[in-house]
Amino acid sequence: MPSSSTSAPLRAPDPDTPYPLPNAKRVVFLKPHITRPNISVGDFTYYDSPIHPEHFQDDNVLYHYEAQGDRLIIGKYCALAHGVTFIMNGANHRMDGVSTYPFPIFGASWGEHMDLLGDLPSRGDTRVGNDVWLGMEAMVMPGVTIGDGAIVAARAVVTSDVAPYTIVAGNPAQVVRERVSPADAQRLVETAWWDWPTEIVNTHIRTLMTGDADKIIGVFNKLKKSTAEN
């Protein structure tokens, strides 16, 4: 039978769909479920958990108080496995005295010392780049930046920044290996393929999933040349 002269256009899933897999309610695109102003999640980032994945911002982002002023920023195309947890700056206690106990928060006459909690240490915003894979029950501590393309192993505790395209594991998380050379990591970050229009991503799925850095950079250079000519 001759093939049709036309084919259906390639389509990406809708990133605003709360449950992208109709028969798997354990998988959610996170962005539609985020309502807090101090949390930002990019398109197509998903969370996979059998236990109320739609409650991610309440169950998995802990000690996150607006008065603290810190933000959680997660990029696009990230994969978060069951139990991934973010500990935010509101978890901090004073450590410069003999006791770390937060007496003032319990009120009564203790509440008269609330000023002692006004200058708790803060490490700033917590940032997860794009195309990051966080394994089951990984824990990310306050103020950490995880670079684009990084992988965090199951049950790792991330206490410091993770470079792009690096694999870390353990408690505290340590570098296992680099996914690509530092030069290629920098070049891949510069392509920012996660910001390409979805129609471009659609046509390069196989390259993104199986190609090496040179192939992705080659696609990027062609796109850049085409844009310049137009």
Q: Is 113 known to be catalytic?
A: no
Least confident of 6-10, 119-123, 163-167, 216-220: 6-10
Neighbours of 59 (CB within 10 A): 14
Q: What is the pTM of this model?
A: 0.92
Angle between helices 213-229 and 182-191 (to 10 degrees): 40
What's the topology of domain 27-179? UDP N-Acetylglucosamine Acyltransferase; domain 1 (2.160.10)
Sheet with 174-178, side-by-side order of all strands: 27-29, 46-48, 79-80, 133-134, 151-152, 166-169, 174-178
How confident is residue 3, by pLDDT bands cut at 50, 70 and 90? very low
What's CA 94's distance to the chain center, in Å?
Answer: 28
Task: Return d(Cα 179, Cα 26) in angstroms, integer.
Answer: 29
| Domain span(s) for CATH 2.160.10.10 in the chain | 27-179
Helix residue ranges per DSSP H, the chain: 56-59, 182-191, 198-203, 205-210, 213-229
> Mean pLDDT across the stretch 24-31?
97
Q: Say whether pLDDT at 36 is over 80.
A: yes
**Residue of 52, 55, 93, 113 marked catalytic:** 93
Write out pLDDT tens, residues 66-104.
988 999 999 999 999 999 999 999 999 999 999 999 999
Residue 9: what pLDDT?
64
Q: Say whether pLDDT at 22 is over 50.
A: yes
Residue 2: what pLDDT?
35
